[in-house]
Amino acid sequence: MRERIKILRIGLTLLLVIEGACQSMAWAEESPKGGTLGVVLENDAFYGVDRHYTNGLMVIWVPGRDAPTPGWVMTLARLMPWFPEQGEIHHGYAFGHSMFTPSDITMANPPLRDRPYAGWLYGTVGLGVESGRQLDQFGMTFGMVGPASLAEQFQKFVHRVLPGNEPQGWDTQLGNEPGIVATYRRSWRGVATSTLSGAQLDFTPHLGAALGNVFTYGNAGGTVRYGKRLPNDYGPPRIQPGLSGSGDLSPVSAFGWYLFAGIEGRAIARNIFLDGNTFRDSRSVDKKHLVGDLQIGFVLNWSDLRLSYTHVLRTREFQTQGNEDNFGSFSLSFKF
């Protein structure tokens, strides 16, 4: 605990030093950019482990606000309950890959009580409508679970390039299955705002749900932000399931930063990576129906650039899991 407090103090000191160095640098207003490109990397190697949700990678593209939104996305979004009729509309696309393994990847035949090997290769098209300080997000995700996700090849390649144990049990992974997930989320930015020691403080709650053969759950939570020149965003992006922020980037005229802490609870009806394949026999474990995430991190904003790091603590996801999971999430977004 003392080490974590020490690290937090060092990080806050660095932020203040950077801010002081940058206050004299004013950035002129520029013409609107074409869009926002973002990259998110999540991995448990940040904390010296290699198990369960072990890696996630996602690339996000959010076109400029003037880009036309696909008609079929609008049609699907209007079918969602409570979707707003008015507001500023923007859409985006994501391509990602997630990987799951048991606790010991050196075993060719992992225990049946442990999490099965699985991979998830997917693409997402999303739609956001912002009305005032409310953001409604709707997304459709399509992909493949199983060997077609190329998770085995990806992990073995990474472990050849970087020091690590050779994974031995991918022959026991979930079988091939097409996946589809529809997601909906509503966030209210700055429901409570204040100032503390010359910096801004706000709170953003959210409610949402996911429906599909890969994930089906309801979720609720909130995020507190504290910093200088808080941007008009909803936090950095994260990979599903998690406290997803916004892929779009709100440029700032000068250097800004904030610390954040968030919490989310999920009531889970379906998680293919624990329940196993839907229409065929596969390995599986007894999942927990209530799972929570606690996250803390920081965001740096500088003109058209956003850099963030998040530490995530996730409660146990299945009955025979020994410990909670810790992993890190790094993201970089920029407008061009």
Task: Let me know the angle formed at the C-alpha of 10 by 326 and 56, rounded to the nearest 5 degrees.
Answer: 30
Are the C-beta atoms of 298 and 8 separated by less than 8 Å? no
Q: Rounded distance, CA 156 to CA 140, Å?
A: 30
Give every CB contact of residue 232 below 8 A, 6+ residues apart in sequence: 189, 250
Q: Compute how many other C-beta atoms are within 10 angstroms of the C-beta atom of residue 221.
A: 21
Three-class secondary structure of residue 21 per DSSP: helix
Q: What pLDDT is recorded for position 330?
A: 95
pTM score over 0.75? yes
- Whole-angstrom CA distances from 182 to 81, 134, 211, 213 are 13, 20, 5, 10
Q: What pLDDT is recorded for position 31?
A: 40
Q: Rounded distance, CA 257 to CA 243, Å?
A: 19
Per-residue pLDDT of the chain (336 residues; tens, 9 = 90+): 444 444 344 344 434 433 443 333 332 333 455 788 999 999 998 888 899 999 999 999 988 777 777 777 677 767 767 777 777 778 889 999 999 999 999 999 999 999 999 999 999 998 888 887 888 888 899 999 999 999 999 999 998 888 778 899 999 999 999 999 999 999 998 776 788 888 899 999 999 999 999 999 999 999 999 998 888 777 888 898 877 666 666 666 678 899 999 999 999 999 999 999 999 999 999 999 999 999 999 999 887 889 999 999 999 999 999 999 999 999 999 887
Which amino acid is located at 97 in the chain? H
Q: What pLDDT is recorded for position 316?
A: 98
Q: What pLDDT is recorded for position 55?
A: 95
Q: Is the peptide bond before 241 cis (omega within 30 degrees of 0)?
A: yes
Nearest to 277 by CA among 181, 182, 176, 180: 176
Q: Rounded distance, CA 130 to CA 235, Å?
A: 15
Tokens of 101: 């393994």
Q: Which domains does the chain have, with CATH numbers?
A: 40-335 (2.40.128.140)
Q: What pLDDT is recorded for position 3?
A: 41
- Whole-angstrom CA distances from 56 to 98, 130, 163 are 4, 28, 19
Three-class secondary structure of residue 93 per DSSP: strand
Tokens of 112: 């049946």
Q: What pLDDT is recorded for position 6?
A: 41
Tokens 């100032």 sit on residue: 195
Nearest to 182 by CA among 243, 231, 139, 130: 139
Are the C-beta atoms of 200 and 228 separated by less than 8 Å? yes
Q: Rounded distance, CA 283 to CA 143, Å?
A: 20
Give the pairing type, strands 52-63 and 199-212: unpaired
Q: Compute how many other C-beta atoms are within 10 angstroms of the C-beta atom of residue 316.
A: 16
Q: Is 63 exposed, middle or buried (0-12, 13-18, 19+ CB in 10 A)?
A: middle
Q: What pLDDT is recorded for position 251?
A: 62
Are the C-beta atoms of 87 and 110 separated by less than 8 Å? no
Break the chain down into helix, strand, coil percent, rounded to 5.
15, 45, 35
Are the C-beta atoms of 309 and 298 separated by less than 8 Å? yes
Element containing residue 161 per DSSP (H, E): helix 151-161
Q: What pLDDT is recorded for position 189?
A: 83
